[in-house]
Amino acid sequence: MTVEYIRYRVPGDTAEFEQAYGRAARFLALAPQCADYELSRCTEEPGTYILRITWSSPEDHLKGFRQGELFPGFLAEIRPYVTAVEEMRHYEPTAVRGTGGAVPSLYEWAGGAEAFERLTERFYAKVTADDVVGPLFAHMDPAHPKFVAMWLAEVFGGPSRYTDERGGYAHMLAHHLGKAITEPQRRRWVNLLADAADDVGLPDDPEFRAAFMGYLEWGTRLAIANSQPGANPPREAPVPHWGWGVAPPYLG
């Protein structure tokens, strides 16, 4: 991915400029090389704009889009503003990124470490009594619920205890390798965790539950793939961090 920034200083009618970009954006929306785009207006100097476009690569932008069939239509809309461009360059994102304190983490929203411990205690009580998934956990370490609570807490934005104290992703992966988890087992695992979330009173607002269940769908489908005989997933990776996605926390 590469991020293109285009800085404009628009001398005349800024409403017309925004309308022109509104029309030009249709071509970006169709471009397979474009991941997303956003036009922002400067608060202090309203004639100044920055357009941010994320492209799959500089080559995809310069060869794929610029030399492709969508570019003439795009350019026709914004041609009057070409002379207003002050900067037009590609930037590589760095590791410095994240959300600030204005958005609570899913970990905080859920109720912190104690909420995840209540959740997994309840969940594994259901799991071990279950005929579909129970046999997989027959020799489970008694501390397993606590370890999975640490994992979930870290994934959802809590402290990095699973990484620091338990071996992180590599350790979690090692527990799934060769387990040959089936789809009915995966589905039961997800259903029991959703039931446990209700039982222990995890927040049930739509935004939290959509993000929570989104991670469970993603993680359990990976667990199936990684657990099949002969699977060769990456042995080292960071613990994933899961956020709110498209539905931010409801603060109404």
Using the rule CB under 6 A, is 186 a contact of ligand HEM?
yes
Q: Name which of 51 and 149 has its Cβ closer to ligand HEM.
A: 149
User: Is residue 171 part of an annotated ligand binding site?
Assistant: yes
Shortest distance (Å) from residue 136 CB to ligand HEM: 4
CA dist 202 and 232 (Å) reads 35
Using the rule CB under 6 A, is 136 a contact of ligand HEM?
yes
Spatial CA neighbour of 107 closest among 208, 21, 28: 208
Cα atoms in the 13 Å half-sphere on the side-chain side of 110: 31
Q: Which of residues 154-183 bind ligand HEM (CB under 6 A)?
A: 166, 171-172, 175-176, 179, 181
Q: In the block, which residue shows the tokens 């129970």?
A: 134
Order of all β-strands in the sheet with 34-41: 34-41, 48-55, 2-9, 85-91
Among 52, 144, 161, 209, binds ligand HEM (CB under 6 A): 144
Using the rule CB under 6 A, is 145 a contact of ligand HEM?
no
Shortest distance (Å) from residue 99 CB to ligand HEM: 21
Shortest distance (Å) from residue 75 CB to ligand HEM: 46
Shortest distance (Å) from residue 73 CB to ligand HEM: 44
Which residue numbers belong to the known binding site for heme?
A: 171
Chain residues that interact with ligand HEM, rule: CB under 6 A: 133, 136-137, 139-141, 144, 147-148, 151, 166, 171-172, 175-176, 179, 181, 185-186, 189, 216, 219-220, 223
